[in-house]
Amino acid sequence: MTIAAIYRCAPWIGAAIVGAAVALCPTAAMPEGQLQLPQPAETATASVHSGTTKTLADIPVWKRIALGTYKGVNAVRNALDAARMRVGESADEILGRPAFPYSKTKTELDLVVVTAADLGFPTGSTPVAEIYRRAMQLGFDLCPAEVGPQLRLQYANQPLGEFLHIAMQPIASWRGDLVDLTVGNGGAGLLLLGGDGSPDLKLHSSVKFVFVRPARIAMPNVQ
């Protein structure tokens, strides 16, 4: 499958993100009516295959961002354009879909970055739904969709070669494809990409996910 098929983005993404995109390679998107993401469980810890048990305290806050700083899709698109941040075709489409909510008031969220391996899954590929279920068992939340563009705008110093998969409820395109978001730096500029949001999509254990750490368990070590 080509990079264009993976992200449905503009051709400028090119070979700069091939290596990172391999880890995000999707399967065919499923219709919106078949979407079944996991519900939170009460369990607060997860057993890790290394023999240790990770708790909430083992995964510190990575970054605090603000939602509600741009009032609607046009303001967000203008900000991304002014910052010279490149937006993939499918990402740009879902930014303007009715199901893509924008906060009306300013709200701060604490984010964490984890991999499937951090959550206790063995090396290899794991369905996204299972990764989300494990993170929610630990007490983390899925990100509001707005985290994608807001993190892109507020993370201008993203290291070269880093791609962060936003853990979120996917948004259906006008064709019915489920799309989620990734923020990345592929060497040709800072990117906001859309990818296959199917819950049965299998991703490698090294792929980095962004989740929300709820305020009730937030920690002070933020950037």
Round to whole Å and give the CA distance between 178 and 136. Answer: 21
* 223 domain residue, yes or no: no
* 134 domain residue, yes or no: yes
* 190 domain residue, yes or no: yes
* 21 domain residue, yes or no: yes
pLDDT in tens, the chain (223 residues): 333 333 334 433 443 443 344 334 333 333 333 344 444 433 333 334 443 446 667 788 999 999 999 989 999 999 999 999 999 999 999 999 999 999 999 999 999 999 999 998 988 999 999 999 999 998 999 999 999 999 999 999 999 999 999 999 999 999 999 999 999 999 889 999 999 999 999 999 999 999 999 976 444 444 4
In the prediction, which pLDDT does 55 show? Answer: 63
Domain of 169, in residue numbers:
3-10+17-26+58-217
Number of Cβ within 10 Å of residue 142's Cβ equals 20
Paired with 46 in beta bridges are: 54
* 34 domain residue, yes or no: no
| Cβ burial 83-121 (10 Å sphere, 16+ → b, else e) | eebbbbbbbbbbbeeeebebbeeeeebbbbbbbbbbbbb
**pTM summary value:** 0.76
* 156 domain residue, yes or no: yes
Number of independent structural domains in the chain:
1
* 107 domain residue, yes or no: yes
* 92 domain residue, yes or no: yes
